[in-house]
Every structure is written in structure tokens, then in C-alpha cells.
Amino acid sequence: MAGRIPNFDLEAEFQKLVPLMKSCFDREDPELRPTYRDCRSWAKSFTSNIRRSMASRDNNGWLGDNGEGDLTERFELVQQIRDTILNHDDIKEEEDKIKILETKEVWAHLMVLPLPRLRTFLAEVQNNDNLTAQRDLGLCAFTGHLLGEKCHILPFWTLNRPRCSQALDAASAVFGRERIQMLRKKLVNPKTNIVDTSRNMITLHPMLHKFWDHGLFGLEPVTLLYEEDKKEEPDIAGPSTPSKVAGERPNEESGAPGSSRSTRSGTKRLSDSSQITPSKKSKRTSEGKGKGKEREVELPQDIKPTKEDGERAREAIGIRVRLNWLPKTMCLTPDNLPTNMTELRRTWSPWDEDYVVHRKDARPVDDGQIIDIFDTADAKAPDFDILQLQFDVFRMQALSGRADPIIYAPDWYYDDDGELVSDPVPGKEEAVREHEAREAREIQEAREAMQA
């Protein structure tokens, strides 16, 4: 899987490219010379402008809260939580519980929690005796291509599968009851859910959609957007034609209408607030630098709009989203879990250039690409909390080795008619065998490499 691209010397890379391009144009064989389309594609790529911002994450990649900086406290808190739980008198006597709680999956769950929640959770476990406790017009938001597919951020079946509700309940000990209550309202409550509205949808290129389904990247909600973030800017994209997007972002219960744009890829998505069919209303936007200063992440379930100078409280009308490619960890066991970023980076899989999707201006969808999505009159931008849950889950999956999620399924399931079937989910046993074989192979290869 594609990991983070290594740091590089821009001037040195430029000096490498110049002779390569000259050599390409100097080819004598007419069948190997650049074509007119080659030249136009390169010109479009060189004149495009794409916003990529990883500054708020310092050198931590996709881990940590915005502005957290040093992750030392995070690693220490996670270690203290694991030690406290695994050494609790009620846990030490039960081997089955120890095997579960010491796994890298539990460690990954803790590693993606917000820092304030980690501090609170440590206090809870130290004092708790019970520790078991389309909007769019068919345009991909990141590439601008016309082959965009409507994608649910979280699957539609959250509504009709009891397992989703049970999974949320099981996560309450870590995520906190307030967050779980909010997610239940948005995902599983028959009267208040938003799973089949544009608040739970985004449009992606088919290949990006496939990569997303496999957890190769996560979409990070960066901040809510307001009216001042929507001002038009001059088109600096050169030959690139700005694409359309309309977004849906609720101000919790009912969002303010408006237009939606994508500043990162120049795309604009259209979302529907209450219907499955995509809305047709959106405004054109120009590709270019984003509008408005990037703020600290705002959590809508906790933060209320504030009044400034006695005026009406501002209402969020959009959301800024950042794409993060997520390298998976390799060769982790309960005995060698990383204790700092240096150790963690050593476990990440190497960069694989096969995992690439190109924008319509021929440039690749890269780490840190940002898009802005705004409400329209009949559609709202994606929901902040749903995007955050997706980002948390995919980061957990990457940190724990990106196993097929089916291996975590219980040994029972509900069929299409809603009847309980007391057998493992179809495909689970095969997936478990493949996962165990792959992990054993990776660990053996790592040991051989260390001895070489």
C-alpha cells in the first residue's frame, strides 16, 4: 500500500527532470516521440495549482490532533492505559480478555483518540473497577473527473444491521458516551439518521472509491467553513477547467443553504440533504488557493456557534476535508508495539507507486490534498462527525496492519431477511487463515532481514 512519500530536494529533482524531458523530445524514433496530447497534458499539469497542507500535523503524518506537535504524551498515555488495564486484578485472571486487550487493534484504537479523551480515559480506567466496560454532478471531489461515483462515507446498512448499533455501544468506553450518543442519532436512529443523505456522501473517481473501500486513504475533516470562506478568487489554474461540487454540511439539525466548492482540486460537489437522488444545483468555482485561514479542528457535537460583538452566532455552511494516504504497519505484535514516532515509522509499509490516481490536470492525488465543500439550497456538505468516525476507523485499520475487516466479525450475522444466523459471516474463516498466514510471513521476513 502507498505510504507517505519521502522528503526530497526540490532543486535536485528539477535538475534530474530537465535532461529527462530534453531526452524525451530528442527521440529520433517517431513512434516514441511525445504526441500533441502529451504536450498539452504536461502543460496543464505544470500550470495547475493544487493546495496541499500538512502543516498543522507537523511531522506526525496523520496521527495526533491538529497542533499537537510532539506525540510523546500520546504514546505515554496509551502505554499507561494499556498497563493499567492489563494489570487490573479482574483482567489478569482471564486469559481470553488479556489476549484481546493486548492486541495491536486495541492499541490502534487508543492511538487515534483525541488527546483530551486519552487523558480522560486514563483517569477513568485508573479509577474504574469495571474495565470490561451526490450532491455532485458526477465529478470526483479530488480529481475533477466526470466518472465520479456516489460513495457513502459510512455504509448505508448502518440503519438495518443491529451489529452497527452494538459496535457503537461497545466503543462507548473509549470514545465516551457523549460521542456515541451523537453517532447513534446520526447513524442508527430510524427517525434522526442521515445515512442516506448527502451529509453521508461524497463523490469519488472509481479508482479512488476502490482504494477508499480498502482503507488505503482516509478523509480528515479539518475545519468547518463559514460565509467568509466562500468568497470567489481569480482563476489561477491556467488551462484546467474548474469542476463543480456542491456539498452538504449541517449546522447540526438544519444547515444554512449556500454553494459548495472544492479549493484543493478545484472540484465542486453536489449533495442532497434528504433524498437519494443527487441535486442538480451548484455554482462554478475556480481552482486555486483556499479561502479563509485554516482553523483548528472544530467538533460540532461539542462546540456551539459563538456570538461575536453582539451579532448573531455564525452558522457553519461548509467543511474543509484533507486526504491522507495511510501506510499500514507491518510485523507488529503485542511485544513490539511502537513507543514513539521513530519506531512507528519503521513499521510502515514502503511507498508503492502503483497506488496512484491522477487528477484531470494529470497531477496525482497526493498527501494533504484539500477540498472545501459548501451547502447549497437543497444540499448540505458532509457531516463533520461522520467524516471523523471514518477517519478514526481507517487510521485504526492502518495502524493494526490493514487486515480484512471481516476477520473481526462475530461468529453470527443477520441475513437479508433480518434473521439471525448462528454461523460465522461468509468468507470470515478464509480471511482469518489468509491474515494469519500473511502476518506470520511478514514477521519471518522481518526477522531474517534483521539477522542478515
Query: Rounded to an integer, what distance in angstroms lies between the CA atom of residue 338 and that of residue 290?
Result: 36
Q: Whose grid coordinates read 528539477?
A: 14
Close Cβ partners of 260 (under 8 Å, ≥ 6 residues apart): 135, 245, 246, 247, 248, 268, 269, 270, 271, 282, 283, 318, 372, 373, 374, 375, 376, 379, 381
pLDDT digits (tens, 9 = 90+) for 50-72: 777 655 555 667 888 877 877 88
- For the cut 60, the answer to whether the pLDDT of residue 127 exceeds it is yes
CA–CA distance from 381 to each of 247, 264, 387 (Å)?
Answer: 4, 15, 11
* 220: pLDDT strictly greater than 90: yes
What confidence score (pLDDT) does residue 165 get?
A: 66
pLDDT digits (tens, 9 = 90+) for 376-387: 777 789 999 999
Span 165-186, pLDDT tens digits: 667 777 787 888 899 899 989 9
Query: Considering the chain, what percentage of its residues have pLDDT values greater than 70?
Result: 71
Report the mean per-residue pLDDT for the chain. Answer: 73
* Per-residue cell: 440: 506470520
Which pTM does this prediction carry? 0.63
Positive or negative: CA dihedral 225, 227, 229, 234: positive
Q: What percent of the chain has pLDDT over 90?
A: 15
First to last CA, the chain: 25
How far apart are the C-alpha atoms of 364 and 207, rounded to whole Å? 12
Answer yes or no: is pLDDT of 281 > 50. no
Q: What does the alpha-carbon distance between residue 375 and residue 273 come to, in Å, rounded to a whole number?
A: 9
pLDDT confidence of residue 388: 95
pLDDT at position 6, please?
Answer: 59
